[in-house]
């Protein structure tokens, strides 16, 4: 059954109801495949725009930041450990190094939890 819609004064258009529309399965399948292809291309563009590039290589920003933070943390832990071992008898010199060591360990625990 068709529904009629009146537009203006003399024009009558027949608009089929949703149940009457028959779309072939091949068209639906092609449309879904096309949408997947568009999504894949958009994802690839997003990945490329987020990558850090040099003339020789390409880096992922999150992994680069993690490796940088990890390296700086290891250097600080090594320095603090060395100073705590060397200044066993001087408690006033150990205060700064022990608090810095606690800060670094605490920041890593905060990230992990």
pLDDT block averages, 10 residues each, the chain of length 113? 50 56 66 80 76 78 87 93 87 86 88 70
46 and 64 both lie in a single domain:
no
The Cα 33–Cα 42 span in angstroms is 14
Predicted TM-score of the model (pTM): 0.52
Count structural domains, the chain.
2
**What sign for the dihedral angle of Cα 46, 47, 51, 57?**
negative
Quick one: pLDDT at residue 59? 81
Distances (CA, A) of 57 to 53, 67, 68, 69, 113: 6, 16, 17, 20, 33
What's residue 11's pLDDT?
A: 55
Instruction: Supply the pLDDT for residue 24.
Output: 65
Give the rounded distance of the alpha carbon of 40 from its chain centre.
16
Backbone φ and ψ for 52, nearest 5 degrees, come out as: -95, 125
Does residue 23 form part of some domain? yes
Q: Is residue 55 part of a domain?
A: no
């Amino acid at each position: 059954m068709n529904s009629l819609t009146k537009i203006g004064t003399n024009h009558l258009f027949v608009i089929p109801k949703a149940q009457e529309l028959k779309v072939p399965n091949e068209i639906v399948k092609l449309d879904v495949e096309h949408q997947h292809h568009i999504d894949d291309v958009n994802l690839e563009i997003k990945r490329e725009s987020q990558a850090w590039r040099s003339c020789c290589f390409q880096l992922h920003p999150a992994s680069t930041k993690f490796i940088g933070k990890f390296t700086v943390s290891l250097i600080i832990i090594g320095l603090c450990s060395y100073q705590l071992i060397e200044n066993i008898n001087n408690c006033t010199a150990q205060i700064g190094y022990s608090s810095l060591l606690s800060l670094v360990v605490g920041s890593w625990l905060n990230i992990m939890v």
